[in-house]
Structures are given as C-alpha cells and as structure tokens.
Amino acid sequence: MTDDATLYSGGLVFDGLNTPTGGQAVLVENGRITKVAPADSFQGFAGQTVDTTGATLMPGLIDCHVHICHGAEANPAEGVDRLSASGVGLRALEHAKRTLEGGIVAVRDCGGKDYIDLDVRDALNAGRFPGPVMRASGRMICMTGGHGNRWGLVADGVEDVIKAVRTNVHKGVDVIKIMATGGVMTPGVNPEDAHYTAAEMKAGISEARRFHKRTASHAQGAEGILNAVRGGIHSIEHGIFMNDECIAEMIDGGVFLVPTLAAVKNILLNRDKGIPAWAVEKSERVYDIHLQAFKDYIAAGGRVAMGTDAGTPFNIHGANAWELAYMAEAGMPALDALIAGTSNAAELVEPGDRGVIRDGAVADFLLVPGNPAEDITAAADRTRHLAVIKDGRTVSGSTADSPAARMQAAAI
C-alpha cells in the first residue's frame, strides 16, 4: 500500500452500471482504484479514510456533446467572432475549469473554431490546466450553406467529403463529426432537411472508420438520421425527428443517442433575452417533438449517452449535470440517466478507464448526498455536490468531514 492510499467508505457506491449499494468501500492509490470490496475487508486500514456516510460515491460524469469554445451567450456565434484566437482559447480553458467543478470529468467537444479546441484538448489532457479529459472533433464537416457552415469544413460530393475527413484526421481529431441535417442555431436552414446524401454520409463515415476514428452526426430530421445510421455512425446527436424506422435501425446498429435536451430547453427558458428570433421559432416548433422522440427511443430500449450541447444559448458550462434531471423529467428512470452519464458515456467517448468504479479504473468520482437513483437532483444540481475528485485528488468541495455531518450542519 502506498503512502497516498485513500479509502472511501461508509455510504453507498454507484459503480456506473448497477443500483447503488451499501457495504462497499473503494481503495484509491496513485490516482487509480486498486480495490472495490466489502467495507469490513479493510479492517485495520491505516491510511486516509473518507467517511461517505449519508452519501453516494459515483463515477464522475461525462458529457458527450459540448462546444468548449462557445460561451452560452444569446448568440454564441457572435460571441466567438468578437474574440481573437487567443481569446477563444483562454475562455475555453475557463469553461473547462467550470465544467470540471460541476462534476464533469470528461467531455467530447463536437465543434470548435479553427481547431482551437484541439489545442485546448492537448493542454487539458497534459494536466497543464484544470479541466476534464477531452476528446475533440475539430471542424465539423458540412455541406455548402449547411448547418455549422460558419466555422465548419465545407465539403460537397463524395470525394470532397472524403478529403474533409482526411484533413481532420491529419489535424489530429479524436472524432469525425458530420452534419447530416439542418439545425436550430443556423439561420435559413430547416432541422428536418437532410443535407448530405446517403452516399456522402457513408463515404465520410467509412473513411473515418478506416482511420480508426469515432464518428458523430448532428442529425435531427428522420431522413438524415437514417442516412447516418445506415452509413455506420457511432452516435446520433439530438435525434429530434426520430421515427419508428429510425429508432429500430439505431437499436439494431448499436447506435448511441446523445439527446442534448438542455439545448432547446435553455433557449425556450430564456427566449426573451436576446436569442435570435429564428432560433426561438425553431425551438418552439421542435421542443415537444424532441421530447416525444426521446420517450419513444428509451421505451424501445435504445442506448443513451449524456450530452448537453453546452455553449449554446444559456446552456452554461459547469451546469452540464442538469441534463440528468432533464432526461429523468422526460421519463427516463433515474438509474438509467445515471448510467447514461457515466458508463454509457464512457463507452462512447473512450476517455480512458473512466465512467465506472471498479478495480483498475481512474479515481474520478462525484460524491453526492443521499441516493441519486432515488433523487436525481443530488447529482444534477452542482450546489448539492459534496465533492468532485479527479485522478484521486479533490478539485471541488471537500472530503475532510463526513457528508452526514456536513448535511446536518447545513440544516442547522
């Protein structure tokens, strides 16, 4: 046993896969979990002990869809355009810090500006700045005039799409993001319209897979969703107009849905605060449709990975965990929402031995009061978080006193 060994014991443990259980303890050494076992098997342990009585130790959360360069203004595109490249990068690092403090230990960035997100990723992953582990897509690939064309890599036709994928691979992206349809935050496009043809989508996805890259598709309309799924996509982002055919083919293909319920919800909650009228109109049109599609997908047994679209209007970095509550409000069992934000998200993002509590995993934890499978806001509301631990070190909150004592003191 090393000198820095820490034992978390006394409360519940949610391992990222199963119902939170009591009676277990978690031993951490050198930033990794060395043993998960019944608490009484650690009798005589002489190292540091964190008493988690009254709380649940769970994996740190993973957000599969953020825009770290965007600032969640009423019109984030204008916010980015006002800054220099260095200004965008510095602000992105601030967003990353807030994201980590909000309980998010890993993110997948789904579109930045001029590959600045790749520099931010490298700085975070090297530990030069505080923030989550990051995977990044660089410039989104879109058609002429398509969703995301303001900063995307514009490509038309099969050969051009293949070249765009190769360009991003050469730049060092982790994931290839292809825009299958129109979207809410680009003026003059319809979210229901398929942008790339089935042949273009298949060519881009196949080229990405040839270079061992994960793929994600902004896909809101049914035709575009089907084009992406039939082309072999790993995840569908948003999925607003999923129909029964989409759902069946996604499930058959093992495709993850990243629903990003927070994106449209935050636009509607703040519709009178300067958000462009065209974005509000589209959000009002799609909101109920989106919720119903999500309900249909989970009822059919589809796999969900948590994603927020953080950085879009009033979708604030650091408040990412609220997506758990939004999924639960839409009908997803709280336990399934927790799984979507931990082990499922880790399977999609591949952040390196995270998203679960088991022997050998990285010691990235979120300590929350009570049982989040019974009260999802314990994990969703960052003001209730007791501590955020990354690589075995506490980065937010405190592990000095027992959660039970802190909760009792707060109630006095």
Token pair 């496009």 in the structure block, residue: 189
Of 2-16, 29-43, 108-122, the one with minimum mean pLDDT is: 2-16
Of the three residues 349, 365, 397, the one that is the final residue of a domain is 349
**pLDDT confidence of residue 84:** 96
Tokens of 160: 């051009």
What pLDDT, in 10s, does the model give residues 161-177?
999 999 999 999 999 99
Tokens of 204: 């881009």
Co-location of 30 and 177 in the same domain: no
How many whole angstroms separate alpha carbon 34 and alpha carbon 47?
Answer: 14
Q: 158-171 and 198-210 helices cross at what angle (nearest 10)?
A: 30
Co-location of 113 and 131 in the same domain: yes
Predicted structure pTM score: 0.96
- CA 141 and chain centroid, separation: 20
Coil vs helix vs strand at 409:
helix
What pLDDT, in 10s, does the model give residues 283-314?
999 999 999 999 999 999 999 999 999 999 99
Co-location of 206 and 304 in the same domain: yes
Co-location of 81 and 55 in the same domain: no
Of the three residues 349, 368, 396, the one that is the final residue of a domain is 349
How many whole angstroms separate alpha carbon 283 and alpha carbon 264?
Answer: 6
What pLDDT, in 10s, does the model give residues 241-268?
999 999 999 999 999 999 999 999 999 9
**pLDDT confidence of residue 404:** 62
Overall average pLDDT of the 101-125 stretch: 97
**pLDDT confidence of residue 75:** 95
**pLDDT confidence of residue 412:** 42
Overall average pLDDT of the 236-243 stretch: 98
Co-location of 40 and 109 in the same domain: no
Residue 15 domain-assigned? yes
Q: Which residues, other chains included, contact 155 with Cβ-Cβ below 8 Å and sequence gap of 6+?
A: 141, 142, 143, 161, 163, 164
What pLDDT, in 10s, does the model give residues 167-225?
999 999 999 999 999 999 999 999 999 999 999 999 999 999 999 999 999 999 999 99
**pLDDT confidence of residue 400:** 74
Overall average pLDDT of the 361-372 stretch: 98
Of the three residues 307, 334, 349, the one that is the final residue of a domain is 349
Answer yes or no: are the C-beta atoms of 379 and 58 closer than 8 Å. Answer: yes
| Dihedral sign from CA coordinates of 331, 304, 343, 72 | negative
Q: Which residues, other chains included, contact 256 with Cβ-Cβ below 8 Å and sequence gap of 6+?
A: 64, 234, 235, 236, 303, 304, 305, 344, 347, 348
Co-location of 401 and 327 in the same domain: no
Q: Is the pLDDT of residue 21 over 50?
A: yes
Band of residue 398 on the pLDDT scale cut at 50, 70, 90: confident
Residue 216 domain-assigned? yes
Coil vs helix vs strand at 85:
helix
Residue 207 domain-assigned? yes
CA dihedral 113, 67, 186, 304 (to 10 degrees): 140
How far lies 52's CA from each of 46, 104, 158, 248, in Å?
Answer: 17, 20, 55, 42
Q: What domain range is 249 assigned to?
A: 61-349
Q: Which residues, other chains included, contact 303 with Cβ-Cβ below 8 Å and sequence gap of 6+?
A: 251, 254, 255, 256, 257, 344
Co-location of 328 and 375 in the same domain: no
Answer yes or no: are the C-beta atoms of 174 and 206 closer than 8 Å. Answer: no
How many whole angstroms separate alpha carbon 329 and alpha carbon 324?
Answer: 9
Q: What residue type is assigned to position 161 of the chain?
A: V
**pLDDT confidence of residue 302:** 98
Burial 11-28 (b: 16+ CB within 10 A, else e): bbbbbbbeebeeebbbbb
- CA 194 and chain centroid, separation: 25
What pLDDT, in 10s, does the model give residues 130-140?
999 999 999 99
Coil vs helix vs strand at 179:
strand
Co-location of 379 and 257 in the same domain: no
Co-location of 66 and 56 in the same domain: no
Residue 1 domain-assigned? no
Task: Provide the CATH number for the domain around residue 193.
Answer: 3.20.20.140
> For the chain, what percent of residues have pLDDT higher than 90?
94
Counting the structural domains of the chain, the total is: 2
Tokens of 124: 């975070």
Task: Provide the CATH number for the domain around residue 386.
Answer: 2.30.40.10
Q: Is the pLDDT of residue 408 over 80?
A: no
